[in-house]
Amino acid sequence: MRRFEKIEGNKAEYWEIDHDGDVVVTRSGIIGKAAREREKSFVDDMAAEVDFDKQIHAKRRDGWVEVAAPSEPLADFDERAVSLRPLDGSKAEAFDGAAMKYLLWRMVEVQLFDRHRTPPDLSRWGYRAWRQLGLDAEPTPASPGYDEWVGRMRELSVRDRAADMESHLVGAFKFRDGSHWIVTPEECVYIAAEAANRKLKRKKDTDEQAAWLERWCAFHARAAKAGGYEVVPV
* Cα–Cα distance measured from residue 133 to residue 64, given in angstroms and rounded to the nearest whole number: 50
* Cα–Cα distance measured from residue 225 to residue 185, given in angstroms and rounded to the nearest whole number: 7
Does residue 201 lie in a domain region? yes
- Determine the pLDDT at residue 10: 67
Domain range for 34: 2-67
How many domains are there within the chain? Answer: 2
> What's the pTM?
0.77
Q: Are 12 and 117 in contact (CB under 8 A)?
A: no
Q: Are 65 and 4 in contact (CB under 8 A)?
A: yes
- Note down pLDDT in tens along the chain; length 234 residues: 999 999 876 678 999 999 999 999 999 998 988 899 999 999 999 999 999 999 999 999 999 999 999 988 877 889 999 999 999 999 999 999 999 999 999 999 898 999 888 899 999 999 999 999 999 888 999 988 899 999 999 999 999 999 999 988 999 999 999 999 999 999 999 999 999 899 887 778 899 999 999 999 999 999 999 999 999 999
Identify the helix (H) or strand (E) that includes residue 207. helix 207-225
Does residue 143 lie in a domain region? no
Q: Are residues 111 and 62 in the same domain?
A: no
Q: Are residues 91 and 190 in the same domain?
A: yes
Does residue 72 lie in a domain region? no
Q: Are residues 213 and 113 in the same domain?
A: yes
Q: Which amino acid is at 196?
A: A
Q: Are residues 112 and 224 in the same domain?
A: yes
Q: In terms of DSSP bridges, do strands 36-41 and 113-114 run parallel, antiparallel, or are they unpaired? A: unpaired
73: number of CA atoms within 13 Å, CB side?
9
* Cα–Cα distance measured from residue 234 to residue 217, given in angstroms and rounded to the nearest whole number: 21
**Number of residues assigned to the chain:** 234
